[in-house]
Amino acid sequence: MAGTKEIRLKIKSVQNTRKITKAMEMVAASKMRKAQERMRAGRPYARRLLAITAHAASANTEYRHPLLTRRTEVKNVGAVVITTDKGLCGGLNTNLLRLVLNQHKEWTAKGIGVEYCAIGSKGVSFINRIGGRIVSQNVNYGDRPALERLIGPVKMLIDHYLENGIDEVHLFSNRFVNTMTQEPVHGTIIPIPTTWTTHEGEQVIESRAGAYGWDYLYEPDAQSVLDELLVRYIETFVYQAAADNIASEQSARMVAMKAASDNATKLIGTMQLIYNKARQAAITQEISEIVGGAAAV
């Protein structure tokens, strides 16, 4: 059994760790509410914009925007991976990057080339480890990222798509469900998606683009309207994915730090019991030595 001094030092160390995790839990809880408000405020707009864009993609117009045209054969794809910059948020990044890895292996097995746009330092490190090709990246984007900082790296993939360098653009991010649950999602942003699903197959976005014969009257003309609409579509989708990811990060960190604080409290209680036993044993031994010495005299 360790001495009482060593046990006291361990208890002090765990108590200091508990102070840190408790402070991080409170900071994450404070940031979480604001992040959730921003995320929830943007969801209705993002869903409605997706529906309008999907209807426009299925409309019968003389002008067909390149971003609305599906390629007959997919040889190369681009992937936007949105992760966190910091750790200590449970399995949030692990679950998402596992989804990225599985899809990367599937693309590689089919002979499809992949170009990555990594947003968040955790995604940059992971893609470098698996040997993926990163064409653009953005790290340290903060709790309230500026739209231009997010769109800049993604635009490189969009431009490459317009140049016929890649045939699809995919997006991987975490979707906020509630404080205890965050789901990694994967979907196609170009061409326009019809469904988005989680890694467990749950459908989170569904578009009925092909259910009706949609058509519109465009003013001033179809090209001007679609060009502007698709710019807003890409900006909204990427920003909303980042907002969901930030809300998921703060929620996951708060839960993880609360669990760490609770575990530290239990560990302190256990070590305190061990310390009391060791201290009692030392006292008993001293008394026995005194009694034995007195008896010998």
Domains belonging to the chain, first-starting first, are 4-26+253-296 (1.10.287.80), 43-251 (3.40.1380.10)
Predicted local confidence at residue 127, as pLDDT: 94
Q: What is the pLDDT of residues 226-271, one digit of tens each?
A: 888 888 888 888 999 999 999 999 999 999 999 999 999 999 999 9
pLDDT band per the 50, 70, 90 thresholds, residue 201:
very low
pLDDT at position 196 over 60:
no
For residues 123-148, give the mean pLDDT: 89
Predicted local confidence at residue 260, as pLDDT: 93
Predicted local confidence at residue 87, as pLDDT: 87
pLDDT band per the 50, 70, 90 thresholds, residue 60:
low
Predicted local confidence at residue 23, as pLDDT: 93
pLDDT at position 11 over 80:
yes
Predicted local confidence at residue 230, as pLDDT: 86
CB crowding 236-268: b at 16 or more within 10 Å, else e: bbbbbbbbbbbbbbbbbbbbbbbebbeebeebb
pLDDT at position 197 over 60:
no
Q: Phi and psi dihedrals of 36, rounded to 5? A: -65, -40
Please report, to the nearest 10 degrees, the dihedral formed by the alpha carbons of residues 35, 38, 41, 46 taken in order.
-100
Mean pLDDT of the chain: 85
pLDDT at position 107 over 90:
yes
Percent of the chain past pLDDT 90, that is, above it, reads: 44
Output 169 or 206, whichever has higher pLDDT. Answer: 169
Predicted local confidence at residue 65, as pLDDT: 78
Find all residues with CB under 8 Å of 62, minimum gap 6, and list them. Answer: 222
User: Within 13 Å, how many C-alpha atoms sit on residue 11's CB side?
Assistant: 16
